[in-house]
């Protein structure tokens, strides 16, 4: 396709005047150009394009636009650079998902749902020291001691000089997420299928320690300077993270063989029984259960913490791993009739506030899959 034809087709797409075949043609042309060796020289950096795409997507979500976002062109120094930016938005936002062309997914026709699959929401259960269990969910308030909840978050008031003699356990089920502010003002966002154990109060000058029993959590730690120098520690089954004042994400799910710690701000020390590593911003440590090594690499922090901003960002991720993420958020089982399908790799951005059916329909409508089969609370990919 010539540049002029591409521009005309893109303008028609932006006006909503293209059919499915033309959309696929536009996508295929973009993908073929994406591999061009002269990308950076001809069009500017991919990082700039990605930055613009992310900003637009986040602004759309914050303004509560519809999940499938309409595209407006970005005006840049050259018309062709404009074209590629708009095509990038087409790729990552409007169709929501890019699928590895070499392994198209083949599935059957959708079936009538026997049970509605709900979008995840703010909900948790709080277990007190005495074993009492309180359900925290929208519309229900709770107050006891220095803790209070409006059903969407749980806040512990500062109790600076009280001894931390009691521990609480906050459990987030599949299909849930929750926010808790600890007694030292540390903020914690918990992802689906997670559990956090923590004291109801801290003693200034003594180490503040909590335990991520399993799951994923984003921590915004209150600085040690506000607590007479007391450091903050997060314990998981196979590692410890020690911080002074920082922001970081820990992913330690029971059905995954590795623990990932991603540093956003500050400095943390990640350790296990035999090793210790210092992380600086934009670094991620990975500890596997097989050998206990601590491997550190540079990562795109945005991708790692996008769940907290209401997004799923998948980059070259196998379908089996994507299915695991979607299963937790939608509280649904996703299985493969052919295990090999789980190795198909995807790139894409999805809005967590979409229904699962909308996500699957989006994939179907762009003609990369035929359909899906749903039985009660299970999605079968064949």
186 by DSSP, 3-state: which? coil
Q: Could you please state the CATH topology (level 3) that the domain comprising 310-381 is classified under.
A: Phage tail protein beta-alpha-beta fold (3.55.50)
Give 168-214 pLDDT, tens digit per residue: 999 999 999 999 999 999 999 999 999 999 999 998 888 999 999 99
175 by DSSP, 3-state: which? coil
Distance CA(24)–CA(242), nearest Å, equals 49
Which of residues 341 and 200 earns the better pLDDT score? 200
Residue span(s) of the chain under CATH 2.60.120.1440 come to 121-299
CB 74 within 8 A of CB 85: yes
pTM, 2 dp:
0.72
Residue span(s) of the chain under CATH 3.55.50.30 come to 310-381
Q: In the numeric block, which tokens belong to residue 34?
A: 């994406």
φ and ψ at residue 233, rounded to 5 degrees: -125, 140
Residue 186 CA neighbour count, 13 Å, CB half = 33
Instruction: Using pLDDT thresholds of 50, 70 and 90, give the confidence band for residue 267.
Output: very high
Give 355-375 pLDDT, tens digit per residue: 998 887 766 665 455 667 888
What pLDDT is recorded for position 26? Answer: 60
Give 124-145 pLDDT, tens digit per residue: 999 999 999 999 998 899 999 8
CATH among 3.10.180.10, 3.30.420.130, 2.60.40.10, 2.60.120.1440 for 121-299: 2.60.120.1440
């Amino acid at each position: 396709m010539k540049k002029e034809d591409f521009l005309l087709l893109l303008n028609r797409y932006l006006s909503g005047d293209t059919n499915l075949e033309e959309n696929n043609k536009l996508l295929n042309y973009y993908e073929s150009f994406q591999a061009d060796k002269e990308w950076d020289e001809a069009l500017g950096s991919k990082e700039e394009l990605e930055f613009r795409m992310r900003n637009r997507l986040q602004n759309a979500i914050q303004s509560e636009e519809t999940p499938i976002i309409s595209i407006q062109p970005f005006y840049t120094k050259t018309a062709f650079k404009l074209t590629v930016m708009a095509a990038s938005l087409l790729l990552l936002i409007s169709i929501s998902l890019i699928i590895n062309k070499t392994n198209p997914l083949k599935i059957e026709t959708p079936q009538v749902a026997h049970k509605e699959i709900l979008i995840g929401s703010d909900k948790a259960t709080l277990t007190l020291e005495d074993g009492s269990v309180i359900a925290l969910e929208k519309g229900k308030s709770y107050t006891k001691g220095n803790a209070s909840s409006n059903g969407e978050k749980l806040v512990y008031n500062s109790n600076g000089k009280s001894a931390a003699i009691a521990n609480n356990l906050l459990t987030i089920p599949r299909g849930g997420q929750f926010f808790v502010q600890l007694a030292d003002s540390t903020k914690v966002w918990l992802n689906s299928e997670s559990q956090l154990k923590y004291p109801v109060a801290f003693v200034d000058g003594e180490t503040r320690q909590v335990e991520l029993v399993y799951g994923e959590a984003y921590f915004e730690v209150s600085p040690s300077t506000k607590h007479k120098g007391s450091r903050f520690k997060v314990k998981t089954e196979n590692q410890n993270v020690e911080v002074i004042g920082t922001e970081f994400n820990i992913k330690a799910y029971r059905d995954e063989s590795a623990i990932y710690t991603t540093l956003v701000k500050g400095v943390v020390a990640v350790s296990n029984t035999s090793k210790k590593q210092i992380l600086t911003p934009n670094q991620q440590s990975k500890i596997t259960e097989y050998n206990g090594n601590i491997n550190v690499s540079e990562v795109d922090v945005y991708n790692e913490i996008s769940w907290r901003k209401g997004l799923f960002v998948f980059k070259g991720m196998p379908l089996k791993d994507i299915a695991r993420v979607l299963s937790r958020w939608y509280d649904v089982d996703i299985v493969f009739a052919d295990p090999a399908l789980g190795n198909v790799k995807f790139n894409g951005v999805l809005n967590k506030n979409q229904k699962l059916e909308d996500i699957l329909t989006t994939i179907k409508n762009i003609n990369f899959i035929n359909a899906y089969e749903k039985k009660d609370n299970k999605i079968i990919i064949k």
